[in-house]
Structure 1
Amino acid sequence: MTFNKEDTDYTLYLVTNNELIPSGLDIYGQVEKSLQNGVTLVQLREKELDTGAFIARARKIHELCERYNVPLIINDRVDVALAVDAEGVHVGQDDMDPALVRKMIGPQKIIGLSIRNEEEMWELLKSGADVDYIGIGAVYSTKTKKVNKPQQGPNGVKRILQLISENRPSLKSVIIGGLNKYNITWALRESQFGNKTTDGVAVVSCIMAQHDAGRETLETLDSILVGFQRSNEHVTKKVNNSDSSVVHFITNSVAQQFSANTCIAVGGSPIMSENLNEFDDFTKIPNICLVLNTGTPKLESLTIYQNALKAYNANMRPVIFDPVGCGATEMRRELMRSLLSFGHFTVIKGNLGEIATLAGINGENMRGVDSTLDLDIRSAVDKFSKVAIDLKCKIEYCYVDGGDPLMANITASGCALGGVIARHVACVPYIDTFAATVMAVSTYKEAAYRAGLKSKGPGTFLANFVDELYSVSTSRNLENTHVTYM
């Protein structure tokens, strides 16, 4: 293999762990399957093997890597790397000094260094050590390796990328720690600093621990490529110039018909499905968004919700979460907590009581699925900013006035809003989610205001509201609705 370290592709970086391999499989088979399906860099990490056994294993792994023109990095052990003529060495903060490693392996080999926080990044920058790339992590919690430092999350990665961008832009980086095909795309997008992204993703268990390492490699690589593509998308597609959005509803039975009608009125195309076998196929549809409404949970609902969330997260499709009545019972509260810790939501919508439960305040102020909480707007903003902070969201506030009191007298007016938001969010880049959500809520309230002017009661309001929703979404005339940014 002809090797030039300047040509190294860090996109999908496999770090081996022999202890994770399923029974009946071995490290050589797992590594070769990954190489056949898109791994671009391999690190052999062995903490328990004696030197002789480590060298023997490294030689075999190196032969595999050379067959597929992929560089091999040895973790920590410079002597092993020299013995097998590996392409590089990766060291941690408690291992050999990178400057000494460089003296030993020469200028043509790769050196990687683990960076766990901004302080360590500053130390590297001040030292001027000749390091080719850094491994930033752990991004999320991981069971693969004992981590003594707090997880950084995407925001921590972003701060380190900022330091690289401003001080040493040629330095390469990969992110590592708790990453898999379900969260990689979001981690890549959320960690981007301006136009600066990490150069790749390092993974362990999501390939090494899998029975079909080849298939998992392909799916992990797909998630990485989607993440990079979405992160670099600069052209904003406006809602009113877009093709019809598809809205996949997993919603409560009471709201299905009204949600479908309002979705169609604003130009969306609704699909109702709780069939696990369809979720992956749905995510391949352009301009699709999932509405996950937990209004009528059953014993099997958590499995359905989690599988849908996995599929949409893996393909970087937006998800609207409506935790209906989440403060009404302990079962609903536990369901909400499970979903919040399981995956990523693009928009979380709810009434005052539901959002209060999310924020951990006044969680008992629910009557069935209705809120009994009474707060003025400023108090609500102050209290509920806790949700955005805890969930590491970007903090933006606005208040949309308008609407009509009759909205509170018809069933599913809140649930149907989720579908209208989904129709708007589905066809814009992620960065425009907030603006698309504001547009959706403004459209909804404008339609309600107009419907209220011509309605005698809830019955006539219901029909008039759908008509006005269609009219407003066509004209985008929001003359009776005002948005106040706070």
Structure 2
Amino acid sequence: MKDKSKIDYSVYLVTNNELIPEGLTIYNQVEKALQNGATIVQLREKELDTGDFIKRAQKIHELTKTYNVPLIINDRVDVALSIDAEGVHVGQDDMDPVLVRKMIGNEKILGVSTRCEEELLGVINSEALIDYIGMGTTYSTSTKVVKRAPLGAQGVQALLKIISEQKPELKSVIIGGLNKYNIPFTLANCSYYGFNTNGVAVVSCIMGQQDAAKETKDIANSVKLGFRSSLSEINEVTSEEIQQITVSSNKPVIHFITNSVVKQFSANVCIAVGGSPIMSELTEEFCQFAKIPNIALVLNTGTPSTLSLNVYKSAIKAYNSQMKPIIYDPVACGATGSRRLIMEELTSVGYFTVIKGNMAELCTMAGVDGSEMRGVDSIMDLDIEKLTSILSVLAKNKRCVIVMTGKIDIVVDGITPTKSPRVAHISGGDPLMAEISGSGCALGGVIASYVASTSYFQAFEATVSAVRAYKKAGLKAASKSKGPGSFTIKFLDELYCNKEVK
């Protein structure tokens, strides 16, 4: 067996025979995975008797040895020893790791599942030589019945922090609800906060797929993308002064899934600031769009239909899979029960870079009473200090930039790891901006143009720059206008003539 310190845990496949599509076998799925990026395999069989388990393990081991990949046997030390597998993995309710280590010796790999801080500390303080831990579940999963709530990204980071402080040599993989869509941001966020894991463990997104080869490639690419966005590669802004971000001269592409009432105006505003708009709700092309350099998605749920939810979710998954920015506008999410449910489901699907809304929309999202809402207009009245506190918690929980539009726009950074969230209060604009349809929605395209022109980890600076430019254009246009009609024209002119392009 290769040196244990050099084991690659990055794409850790856990088998599940019950998930395999009809017409395929566990051997088909495992070999396809090995051919396309799986770096370690765990054979998990809870129903087979000992003889059949050993026969299956022998065949799987022949495959893993062909590709020079370690085979880990779940729970069954006797099976592992009988086929000379490279290691054993045990859960909290399985055999004591101390006894397992005595049985398998120090040369083989020993992994242990942990679900909370108490269990992790038990591993750290164990007399057994434990090589790695499996942490989870990270997100909700249908693969396994779990008795605890998912850890979430923040829970995983809390456990990784303990490892880094108390036993940095201990390897780790995260497991539970991970797929090619959420892996990049999950790994990138762990790295950005300085708490690195060594890989991801996946089950259904390979074992349950008709094309396990393609899915394994996608998983491996997602892992590489997440690991590439490490802390060492992030140009973090340390100055107290917010860095000015401008729109790229390469014309960032902005994909709009937006309010049907404002599509033309949003497109014109986007062009005026230097972006290149696309309007599409064709799910078949989302994955192709997401691979375009300097692209961002504006997801505005202002005019939902019975078919919209699938379109929204498909877009989120496609853009998350490529770590491309999403600017989400949960229009009137507190106005009806249906809109609230759409917002709740979308925020549970994936990551957003920026969430933009008015006071009532964002208070609804934050769990504050947002019932005082008329259409898409907020009629709530909270002071700036209270609002900033609510938005800071929301930004931290959603790990994104929050923008609350109003007389004074509030921008809060939930991405950069600082002791307290960075906040910008931006004045300007003019009441005439509220007299034209779509001025709030069109801001999403401007933010997207700025965010797509820089890195994910400078989204706060980009968003502040975009909001300032928008407010400034509104103020200047109003001073030259007689009413909403002339203001619309002057506003586009001001955005175009005063755009910041790098």
- Does TM, scored on the shorter chain, surpass 0.5? yes
Distance 1:427 1:128 in 2: 51
2:318 aligned with 1:319, yes or no? no
Which residue matches 2:380?
Answer: 373
Which residue matches 2:204?
Answer: 205
Which residue matches 2:404?
Answer: none
Tell me the SS of whatever aligns to 1:474: coil
Stretch moving more, 422-431 or 334-343? 334-343
Correspondences of 1:244-393 after superposition (within 5 Å): 244-385=251-392, 387-388=394-395, 391=398
**1:161/1:193 contact within 8 Å kept:** no
Please, what is the CA RMSD of the aligned residues? 2.1
CA spacing shift, 1:195–1:27, aligned 2, 3 Å: same
Tell me the SS of whatever aligns to 1:175: strand
Distance 2:41 2:117 in 1: 26
Correspondences of 1:441-452 after superposition (within 5 Å): 441-452=467-478
Which residue matches 1:455?
Answer: 481
Distance 1:341 1:168 in 2: 32
CA offset digits 1:436-475 (Å, max 9, x no partner): 2112111111111222222222122212212222344338
Tell me the SS of whatever aligns to 1:248: strand
Q: Percent identity?
A: 59
Stretch moving more, 451-460 or 316-325? 451-460
User: Structure 1, unaligned stretches of length 5 or more?
Assistant: 477-486
**2:246/2:453 contact within 8 Å kept:** no
Distance 1:6 1:231 in 2: 21
Which residue matches 2:246?
Answer: 240
Q: Provide the TM-score with structure 2 as the length reference.
A: 0.89
Deviation at 1:354, TM superposition (A): 1.7
**1:161/1:192 contact within 8 Å kept:** no
Distance 2:40 2:91 in 1: 18
2:88 aligned with 1:101, yes or no? no
Task: Count residues with an aligned counterpart.
Answer: 475
Deviation at 1:153, TM superposition (A): 1.0
Which residue matches 1:400?
Answer: 426
Q: Which amino acid aligns with 1:97?
A: D
CA spacing shift, 1:195–1:22, aligned 2, 3 Å: same
Which residue matches 1:166?
Answer: 165
Tell me the SS of whatever aligns to 1:147: coil
Distance 2:49 2:165 in 1: 42
Distance 1:129 1:317 in 2: 43
Q: Provide the TM-score with structure 1 as the length reference.
A: 0.92
Stretch moving more, 27-36 or 98-107? 98-107
Which residue matches 1:184?
Answer: 183
Which residue matches 1:415?
Answer: 441
Stretch moving more, 428-437 or 81-90? 428-437
**1:207/1:213 contact within 8 Å kept:** yes
**1:132/1:172 contact within 8 Å kept:** yes
**1:37/1:217 contact within 8 Å kept:** yes
Stretch moving more, 431-440 or 175-184? 431-440
2:499 aligned with 1:473, yes or no? yes
Distance 2:291 2:151 in 1: 31
Distance 1:235 1:364 in 2: 41
Which residue matches 1:78?
Answer: 77
Following TM superposition, where does structure 1 have runs of at least 4 consecutive aligned residues deviating by more than 6 angstroms?
Answer: none
User: Structure 2, unaligned stretches of length 5 or more?
Assistant: 238-243, 401-413, 415-420
Distance 1:460 1:98 in 2: 75
